[in-house]
Amino acid sequence: MKEISRKHILVTGGAGFLGSHLCERLVAQGHDVLCVDNFYTGAKDNIAHLLDCANFELMRHDVTFPLYVEVDEIYNLACPASPIHYQHDPVQTTKTSVHGAINMLGLAKRVKAKIFQASTSEVYGDARVHPQTEDYWGHVNPIGPRSCYDEGKRCAETLFTDYRRQHGLEIRIARIFNTYGPRMHPADGRVVSNFVMQALSGEPLTVYGDGSQTRSFCYVDDMIDAFIRFMNLISSPDGPVNLGNPFEISMRQIAEQIVEITNSSSVIEYRPLPIDDPWHRQPDITRATKLLAWKPMTPLHEGLAKTVRYFAKMLRFPEETALGQRRPGLAPWPQDRP
């Protein structure tokens, strides 16, 4: 990618998992970054290392209320993304997606900023098309327990698209598929964080259904690379773009990989499948590959090992963990193997 000039960039949800990695990358590129978060699921620890940077600013703010700042670009990432968190207060989840989109779009219109919407593969619901392409309209239950998130994000896509049609706004809509890596919330209920925490603690790995349902996992560094490439496009593409890793794996297989990486004694425990849980989730990233000259580069095993290191340190396993060594009696990390 070509070197880019210094910009004033707003990242909503900037203290969250994806937001903190995005802020870190933008700060490193020399941009002035305003991180906005209400800390519902975000954490100050995620961006603590940026607080002393002259080109980073943190603001506590809820995007359901208007924000008046001067910026060149807006990344709208504000919204809880795990089922446990977004179902805890479903009305607020919908408000964050819809009112948040309206407020950020209004800001972008006023200051003539480019704006990026972090949408989700959940807009496809329990997909009847596999893998999912951007022209698929989805199969979503509008009144189910997941609908606050699914329909909130679908409505946000509508708002973004209509602001482009009506006001000529420069928009970017990214449909983000499962992403994992350091700074995931340890209690977010998502597959990778759940399995890693359970494996490190020696607890059973809870697999829902028979474990044959599939997901596709993209390492966070690859996803952030896609975000920035997408924003740096000269003009808005015609419609949303899928961002994710097309490599598909079953829940049982990823549980087995995490047990192997951690050399855990944990067993796999099967539980009933939650309501409206999608059976398959795999992105077709043809558009992203053509538009962004991008594809995920981090192998799953390597990304999982990095994620395990992060959670091991969080759980305060012996200090040798931070030195890249394993606890006594456990197998070496994958990258340490001959």
Mean pLDDT calculated for residue range 41-53: 96
Q: Please give the pLDDT value at position 281.
A: 82
Tokens of 183: 């700074």
Return d(Cα 181, Cα 311) in angstroms, integer.
Answer: 10
Amino acid letter at 146? R
Q: Is 181 left (phi over 0), alpha (psi -120 to 50) or beta?
A: left
Residue 31 tokens read as: 């941009």
DSSP-derived secondary structure for 22-46: HHHHHHHTT-EEEEEE--SS--HHH
pLDDT of residue 186: 86
**Catalytic residue among 40, 149, 163, 180, which?**
149
Mean pLDDT of the chain: 89
Least confident range from 6-20, 52-66, 204-218, 289-303: namely: 204-218
Residue with more model confidence, 316 or 293: 293
Quick check: 216 pLDDT over 50? yes
In 3D space, the residue among 288, 290, 285, 170 whose CA is nearest the CA of residue 234 turns out to be 170
Q: Which residues partner with 249 through β-bridges?
A: 215
Do the beta carbons of residue 242 and residue 284 sit within 8 Å? yes
- Measure the CA–CA gap between 262 and 265, rounded to whole angstroms: 9
Label the pairing between strands 241-243 and 171-176: parallel
- Rounded to two decimals, the pTM is 0.89
Burial (CB count within 10 angstroms: exposed 0-12, middle 13-18, buried 19+), residue 213? middle
The mean pLDDT value for 68-82 works out to 93
Peptide bond into 131 cis (omega under 30): yes
Distance CA 284, CA 226 (A): 15
* Rounded Cα gap, residues 335 and 338, in angstroms: 8
pLDDT digits (tens, 9 = 90+) for 241-276: 999 999 999 999 999 999 999 999 999 999 887 776
The CATH homologous superfamily of the domain defined by 8-181+218-245+282-297: NAD(P)-binding Rossmann-like Domain (3.40.50.720)
Query: Comparing C-alpha atoms, which of 180, 224, 183, 185 is closest to residue 75?
Result: 224
**114 vs 77, 82, 134, 160, 196, CA distance in Å?**
14, 27, 21, 11, 37
Determine the average pLDDT of the residues in 152-172: 96
Task: For residue 165, report the phi and psi dihedrals to the nearest 5 degrees.
Answer: -65, -45
What pLDDT, on the 0 to 100 scale, is given for residue 4? 56
Q: At 6, which amino acid appears?
A: R
Q: Does 270 qualify as catalytic in the annotation?
A: no
Q: How far apart are CA 310 and CA 324, in angstroms?
A: 11
Q: Which of 120, 136, 129, 140 is nearest to 190 (CA)?
A: 120
Range in 218-222, 236-240, 312-316 the model is least confident about: 312-316
Residue 135 contacts residue 166 (beta carbons within 8 Å): no
Number of residues assigned to the chain: 338
